[in-house]
Structure 1
Amino acid sequence: MQVRAIYEDEVLKPLKKLDLPDKAEVKIIIRESFSKLLDEVGEEEAKEDVDLVLKEMRARNYYE
């Protein structure tokens, strides 16, 4: 699940209601930029195929 949120008063506040049980534990990953994500992945192929990766990501339905 990918969720957009606003950080306010030291709390992340989702922009939409989440379908999660009360007190569910979640893992949050904050990325400053796509290039830093590629640096973390460390795969040269990913860096060379950024356009292909972005195209595939746009085609996915993350909300089903």
Structure 2
Amino acid sequence: EHYDEGAERSVLGPGIVPVLSETPGGVRNAGPARPGQHNDEVYGELLGMSPAELSALAQEGVL
């Protein structure tokens, strides 16, 4: 169990592996609030896909 800054509550999650003696691990959040939340950033900004390409993938059920 750890505190999720995004959810502002404690959530259950996997432990931090590996466990290091001098560098403690930690989890800041449990991930995006909804699947696909960052699709526009990843596919559009990082991978350079156009809005038309993203729309086509969404219509085909890929995204």
TM-score by length of 1: 0.31
Q: Which has the higher helix share?
A: 1
Higher RCO by CA contacts (8 Å cutoff, separation 6 or greater): 1
Give the TM-score normalised by structure 2.
Answer: 0.31
